[in-house]
Structure 1
Amino acid sequence: MSTPNRRAILKALTASVAVLAAGELTVTPAAAAAQASENWTTQTLGAFADTLIPGEHRFSGDQVCAGAVTGPGAVQAGVIDVMNSPQLPLAPLLPEIAALLDARAISYAAVRLIWLSPSRPPFVDLSFSHRTNLVAGLFGSGDLDEPVWQVMSLIVGIAFDTAGQFDTAAALAQGHPGLTWLKFPKPNPDGRWRFEDFSYGRRLAALHPATTPSGSPA
């Protein structure tokens, strides 16, 4: 992949994280799920996400989710829907990112004499332990593509740990797999979070009288 393409990918990834941090997205989980069995890009990126935050098999014969653990992972939490959201500039570049990862999988398998089936994406065909070893090698090595994987992993974390594609209260009400698994506390009836116990067991400072209703300093 050429340098201009890498620059475009990183620009789209960075912009995507900024959008996720700013608010909820419009996602279409049904459409993404319908393509999961046909789209190699979706399978490869789903397997990448499942390697970082693994989940159980979604159905019998599931190849994308390796079933390395019990409970939901990033795929169940909707990471593919996040990546494909029309509000992010990322979707057009996903095939290139997936192809880059599959190329790494082919190289990884060739060195270790691992036979890969031509019926599924190379990265998906690796065992979970080999996926883990490959992904671990993408980080901290000074590789030219390391920033791509760093930002992709951040998006994976946002989808599972914070349900960044949704309003938090709505995500909890709908039983978002990541927030539910993490036992994220539900808000008060008015939709706000308040905690009876202070972090250090006591109030550290009184509220400044000029504080705005949103909690910002005057």
Structure 2
Amino acid sequence: MTSAVVFDYGFGNVRSMMRALAHCGLDVALTSDHRQAFEADGLVVPGVGAFATCISGLRDVGGDRVILERLRDGRPVLGVCVGEQILFSRGCENGAATEGMGLIGGSVDLVDADVVPHMGWDTVDAAEGSTLMRGIEDERFYFVHSYAASSAEPADFAALGIPSQDPGRVSWCDYGRSRFVAAYERGPLSATQFHPEKSADAGERLLRNWISTFA
């Protein structure tokens, strides 16, 4: 049976994600055990709260090493919400910058809008050739966030030891005066700013699209 681990580092809506993945037919575990997280067919990195707190919590339990080891071995990783944000080069909150994992080039900053957080259902401008968004390009997804990345540049995967010639695909969302990264795909790395586990049928389809890359 195809397996997935939701990485447990103290942050994220883990129960909702576990239920969503189980509904897609996966054998799902919640753990911070490195071997189990590495060996699972798919790994989900959730996240809620502040960028600095999440990346610190991830590093405290060695989750950053697990993510890198998986990507270097071509094993799929999906970051969600702040679990997506911490994959970027840095996050800037309250005037302070915190270094992220650097798997995606760019900075996570406060959304420029009259009403923050951006909360509720919104459409996504799907990247051409997107695997995650296949068949759901015109659907709406559920967002809850105050910060987002306004750019996404391909990181130097070769320097990180990740074997991928994929230049990456970026899907976007517009809110207020911001146009921000809604989803990112590059080789075994996938990420969404929105919550697929809370996005009803469209979210389930996205998860199934992701699962199709390894099941």
Structure 2-normalised TM-score? 0.26
Higher helix share: 1
